[in-house]
């Protein structure tokens, strides 16, 4: 699916966000990315969904070198990659139905897109997507009247309408409360499992990553530190990954003491049992 | 890792700026020949009182009524059509004056624009800004003089003058609103593969629309006052009749016309406020 070789990203201000990132992700794989805040995970996801250009290195999507695509081809490839953000990625003043149908924008002509704002096309499809995320009654609500967790589910419904081959979820649960976090992660996992989609997720919480993903990539200071199955990710490795980041170290300590913010809903973590 | 607390920045700069402003104020006072004793001293005050007394009573004859009413309607119409023309002119120009829609910012981080395309867009942006500045910096009354010369006397040159000047003002304001919208939803739309036009109508305009409406209504209120003045150079409305009344020393009719301005401006303010409450 993805083949990254020596990806480097330097921002205009001169800060290096990513350094020599090489990674292969096969079709249908589920991968969680963990690491301290500021490690470059979001930058990596923006490169993966083709809205940010790497400074150097090669990004190959389905055998195609992305840097060689024309504008039209780039748009076509983007329709196959769905992104869910941490928050505030919806247009608050539009009704839910339009935010969900925005998943079609990569395929619709400009005229069709415009017409749909007046008289929504594919209302049935939007309704089905909202049913899948468990809030069909909000189809005609104004988006900014929904809670944070509800808005996140609208964003997931938009990705369902887009029906991509890859789902990128960038910290999809750090803005919602813990009980909802587990249900959103499992929802995304089950949905992509059922339709054989590739799922890449940035996660702030180590326990969600280790509990729900078969492959864990640790990122720190813009570099991939490890790429392992969760049973190989032990406390020492995590302590090293988060060294110097006090908040996250405290969370690890709680995990080590057998506590986790997601309670019984989250599977027990083997390496951390006392 | 202990780091030193930042020192408080120096405080000399505000004093210097204050002194500079005071000097500028004194110089301007001198330069404009402000003469308070002359205005408020015995002679000046007496002249004001005499002129105001001569205005009364307002002329309430049928002819004066008709004149004031038709002038007020014409002024209202000039302000309304002129403001709509301004929106029609300012909106497309504001798109050309918005960097974030042409070559800069979140929508342009996924792919480098070719050097030719980039130069063309930077040029378009500069040209759009320059045109808006030209329209905006020339006052309505000067535009009205030009249009009276081009299309002749009457309300039509007034409409054109308001449309062109206000088009420049709204284009600049709309452009600032467009550059200020939250980029996060635009990024998300772009990531679905949406094209520029779809991103504009789904992401940018819904965020910008309330402020567009608010600015347009505010400029309409400004324009109904401006429309009353444009008549002085022959561009129709109450102003034209006021100019005649002053020139012919018809003080009683002048008062009627001033009252008509008061009523039209108040009416438009109320109308605009109720529209704003409904739409924004």
ipTM of the complex model: 0.89
DSSP A57: E
Question: Measuring CA to CA, which residue among A88, A151, A40 is closest to residue B183?
Answer: A88
pLDDT band at residue B3 using 50, 70 and 90 as cut-offs: low
Q: Is the pTM of this model over 0.90?
A: no
Bridge partners (DSSP) of residue A16 are A10
Q: Which residue of B has its CA nearest to A12?
A: B109
A85–B contact, CB cutoff 8 A: yes
The count of structural domains within chain A is 1
Chain centroid, CA A203 distance in Å: 8
Asked whether the beta carbons of A173 and A208 are under 8 A apart, the reply is yes
Is A64 a member of any domain?
no
A53–B contact, CB cutoff 8 A: yes
Bridge partners (DSSP) of residue A60 are A3, A65
Q: Which of the pair, A245 or B155, is modelled with greater confidence?
A: B155
Burial class (CB in 10 A: 0-12, 13-18, 19+), A256: middle
What pLDDT does residue A261 have?
62
What pLDDT does residue A265 have?
53
Interface of B with A in 171-190 (CB under 8 A): 182, 184-185, 187-190
CA distance readout (Å), B109 to A18, A218, B86, B101, B205: 16, 26, 33, 12, 21
Interface of A with B in 94-113 (CB under 8 A): 94, 98, 102-103, 105-108, 110, 113
Identity of the residue in A76, A91, A162 whose CB atom sits nearest the CB atom of B202? A91
Beta strands, E only, chain A: 2-10, 16-25, 30-34, 56-61, 64-65, 81-84, 166-170, 198-202, 215-220, 223-228
A239–B contact, CB cutoff 8 A: no
Q: Cβ contacts (< 8 Å) between B106 and chain A: which residues?
A: 51
Work out the mean pLDDT of chain B and round it to a whole number.
Answer: 90
A51–B contact, CB cutoff 8 A: yes
Distance from CA of A258 to the nearest CA of B (A): 30
Most B-contacting residue of A9, A13, A51, A95 (CB-CB within 10 A), to test interface: A51
* CB atoms B193 and A75 under 8 Å: yes
Q: Between the ranges A248-262, B85-99, B225-239, where is the mean pLDDT highest? A: B85-99
**Within 13 Å, how many C-alpha atoms sit on residue A148's CB side?**
13
What pLDDT does residue B13 have?
78
Tens of pLDDT, residues B102-144:
998 888 888 888 889 999 999 999 999 999 999 999 999 999 9
CA distance readout (Å), B193 to A17, A209, B187: 25, 28, 10
What pLDDT does residue A263 have?
58
Bridge partners (DSSP) of residue A215 are A31
Tens of pLDDT, residues B15-49:
889 999 999 999 998 888 888 887 877 788 888 88
What pLDDT does residue A249 have?
74
* CB atoms B187 and A82 under 8 Å: no
Q: Which residue of A has its CA nearest to B198?
A: A110
What pLDDT does residue B192 have?
94
Distance from CA of B165 to the nearest CA of A (A): 30
CA distance readout (Å), B129 to A3, B94, B122, B213: 44, 8, 11, 21
Q: pLDDT (tens digit, 0 to 9) for every residue of chain A, 274 residues total?
A: 899 999 999 988 888 999 999 999 999 999 999 999 888 999 999 999 999 999 999 999 999 999 888 888 999 999 999 999 987 689 999 999 999 999 999 999 999 999 999 999 999 999 999 998 888 999 999 999 998 888 989 999 999 999 999 999 999 888 777 778 888 898 899 888 888 999 999 998 888 899 899 999 999 999 999 999 999 888 888 888 988 887 777 777 777 666 666 655 555 444 443 3
B41-66 residues labelled b (16+ CB within 10 A) or e (exposed): eeeeeeeeeeeeeeeeebbeeeebee
A143–B contact, CB cutoff 8 A: no
* CB atoms B110 and A71 under 8 Å: no
* CB atoms B198 and A88 under 8 Å: no
A215-220 β-sheet, strand order: A81-84, A166-170, A198-202, A30-34, A215-220, A223-228
d(CA A73, CA B11): 57
Mean pLDDT, rounded, for B246-267: 91
Boundaries of domain holding A125: 85-163
Bridge partners (DSSP) of residue A32 are A201, A216
What pLDDT does residue A268 have?
45
Q: What angle do CA A242, A247, A251 make, to 5 degrees?
A: 80
Neighbours of B5 (CB within 10 A): 6
**What DSSP string describes A32-56?**
EEE--TTSSHHHHHHHHTTSS--SE
What pLDDT does residue B40 have?
78
Distance from CA of B131 to the nearest CA of A (A): 28
What pLDDT does residue B279 have?
83
% of chain B exceeding 70 in pLDDT: 98
The residue written with tokens 């608050």 in the block is A92
Asked whether the beta carbons of B186 and B199 are under 8 A apart, the reply is yes
Q: Where are the domains of chain B?
A: 59-279
Distance from CA of A174 to the nearest CA of B (A): 17
- CATH architecture, domain defined by B59-279: Orthogonal Bundle (1.10)
What pLDDT does residue A274 have?
31
Identity of the residue in B109, B110, B193 whose CB atom sits nearest the CB atom of A105? B193
């Amino acid at each position: 699916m993805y083949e990254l070789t020596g990806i480097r990203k330097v921002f205009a201000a001169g800060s290096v966000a990513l350094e020599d990132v090489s990674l292969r992700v096969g079709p249908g794989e589920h991968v969680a990315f963990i690491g301290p805040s500021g490690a470059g995970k979001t930058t990596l996801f923006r490169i993966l969904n083709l809205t940010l250009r790497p400074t150097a290195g090669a990004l190959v999507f389905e055998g195609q070198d992305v840097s060689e695509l024309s504008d039209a081809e780039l748009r076509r490839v983007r329709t196959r990659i769905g992104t869910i953000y941490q928050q505030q990625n919806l247009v608050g003043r539009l009704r839910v139905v339009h935010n969900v149908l925005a998943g079609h924008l990569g395929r619709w002509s400009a005229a069709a897109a415009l017409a749909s704002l007046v008289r929504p096309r594919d209302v049935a499809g939007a309704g089905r997507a909202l049913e899948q995320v468990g809030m069909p009654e909000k189809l005609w609500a104004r988006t900014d009247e929904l809670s944070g967790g509800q808005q996140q589910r609208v964003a997931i419904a938009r990705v369902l309408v887009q029906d991509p081959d890859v789902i990128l979820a960038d910290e999809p649960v750090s803005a919602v409360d813990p009980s909802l976090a587990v249900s959103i992660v499992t929802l995304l996992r089950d949905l992509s499992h059922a339709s054989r989609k590739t799922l890449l997720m940035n996660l702030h919480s180590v326990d969600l990553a280790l509990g729900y993903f078969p492959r864990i990539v640790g990122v720190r200071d813009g570099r991939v530190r490890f790429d392992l199955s969760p049973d190989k990710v032990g406390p020492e490795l995590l302590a090293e990954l988060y060294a110097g980041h006090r908040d996250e170290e405290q969370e690890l300590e709680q995990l080590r003491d057998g506590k986790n913010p997601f309670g019984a809903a989250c599977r027990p973590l083997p390496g951390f049992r006392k | 890792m202990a780091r030193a607390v930042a020192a408080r920045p120096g405080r000399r700069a505000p004093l210097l700026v204050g002194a500079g402003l005071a000097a500028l104020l004194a110089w301007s006072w001198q330069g404009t020949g402000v003469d308070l004793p002359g205005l408020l001293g015995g002679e000046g005050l007496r002249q004001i009182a005499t002129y105001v007394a001569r205005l009364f009573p307002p002329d309430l004859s049928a002819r004066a009524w008709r004149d004031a009413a038709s002038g007020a309607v014409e002024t209202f119409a000039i302000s309304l059509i002129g403001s709509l023309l301004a929106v029609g002119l300012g909106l497309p120009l504001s798109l050309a004056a918005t960097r974030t829609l042409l070559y800069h910012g979140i929508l342009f981080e996924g792919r480098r624009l070719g050097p030719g395309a980039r130069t063309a867009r930077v040029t378009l942006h500069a040209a759009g800004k320059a045109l808006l500045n030209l329209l905006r910096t020339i006052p309505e009354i000067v535009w009205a003089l030009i249009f009276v010369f081009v299309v002749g006397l009457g309300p039509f040159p007034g409409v054109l003058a308001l449309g062109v000047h206000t088009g420049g003002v709204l284009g600049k304001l709309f452009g600032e609103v467009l550059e200020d919208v939250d980029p996060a939803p635009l990024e998300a739309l772009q990531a679905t593969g949406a094209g520029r036009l779809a991103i504009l109508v789904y992401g940018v305009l819904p965020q910008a629309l309330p402020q567009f409406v608010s600015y347009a209504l505010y400029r309409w209120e400004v324009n109904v006052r401006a429309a009353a003045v444009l008549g002085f150079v022959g561009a129709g409305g109450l102003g034209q009749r006021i100019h005649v009344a002053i020139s012919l020393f018809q003080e009683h009719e002048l008062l009627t016309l001033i009252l008509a301005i008061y009523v039209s401006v108040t009416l438009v303010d109320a109308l605009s406020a109720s529209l704003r409450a409904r739409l924004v």
